[in-house]
Amino acid sequence: MELKTKEQQRIFNIEKIYVKDLSLEIPNAPLVFLEAEAPKIDMQLHIHDKEINEGMFEVVLTVTVTAKAQEKTIFLVEVLQAGIFQIRNLEEEEVTPILNIVCPNIIFPYMRETISDIVTRAGFPPVILSPVNFEALYNESKQQAMADGSDQVTSETKQ
C-alpha cells in the first residue's frame, strides 16, 4: 500500500471571492421611476477562467441584467464576480469541470447578492436571480464544442 505524500494530495481551496467590476446604468432616470409597468428582466451569463499561477485559477462570472418596460431600458447592471481557487494534483480532465461547474456554483450566490443589493440601492425592487444549473450549461457547451470540432468549452446562457 502506497501512502500519499502531502505533494500528492488532491487540493481544492477557495482563496478569495471578490467583485472584479460593477456597472449600473439608469439611462432614462428620473422618468423611469414614474413607470407603473413592471419591467421585463433579461439575464446573460458568461464564465471565464484562467490559470494565474501554477495551481491557482481565477474564475470570473459575468452577469448582465437588463430591465426593460416596452422598449425603454429601466436599468442595466453588469457584474464581474470572481474567485481565486487553488486546484492541485488533479488530472487535467478533472480540472475543467471544476472550473466550469464547482467554482461558478460557489461564486453565484455572491453575485446574486451583489446584483440584488446594487439594484435596491439604485431605487428599484430587488432582482433575485434564479438558480443556474452550471453542470447542464457545461455539458451543453461541451456537446456544442464537440459538434463544432473545437475542444474549447465556454459557458454562457440567456434567461
For the segment 34-49, what is each residue's pLDDT rounded down to a tens digit?
A: 888 889 999 999 999 9
Q: Is residue 4 part of a domain?
A: no
Q: Is residue 75 part of a domain?
A: yes
Per-residue model confidence (pLDDT) at position 6:
55
Q: Is residue 1 part of a domain?
A: no
Instruction: Please give the grid coordinates belonging to residue 35.
Output: 413607470
Residue 32 has pLDDT above 70, yes or no: yes
How far apart CA 55 and CA 66 sit, in angstroms, is 36
Range of the domain at 85: 10-158
In this predicted model, what pLDDT tens digit does every residue of 59-76 receive, in sequence order? 999 999 999 998 899 999
In this predicted model, what pLDDT tens digit does every residue of 119-153 receive, in sequence order? 999 999 999 999 999 999 999 988 888 887 765 55
Q: Is residue 5 part of a domain?
A: no
With CA atoms as reference, report the closest residue to 83 among 119, 65, 116, 109: 109
User: Judging by DSSP bridges, how do beta strands 56-69 and 40-53 pair with one another?
Assistant: antiparallel
157 neighbors 132 (Cβ within 8 angstroms): yes
Q: Phi and psi dihedrals of 19, rounded to 5?
A: -85, 120
Q: Is residue 2 part of a domain?
A: no
**pLDDT tier at 154, thresholds 50, 70, 90:** low
CATH number of the domain at 61, please: 3.10.420.10
pTM of the model: 0.85
Matching residue, cell 447578492: 113
Q: How many domains does the chain contain in total? A: 1
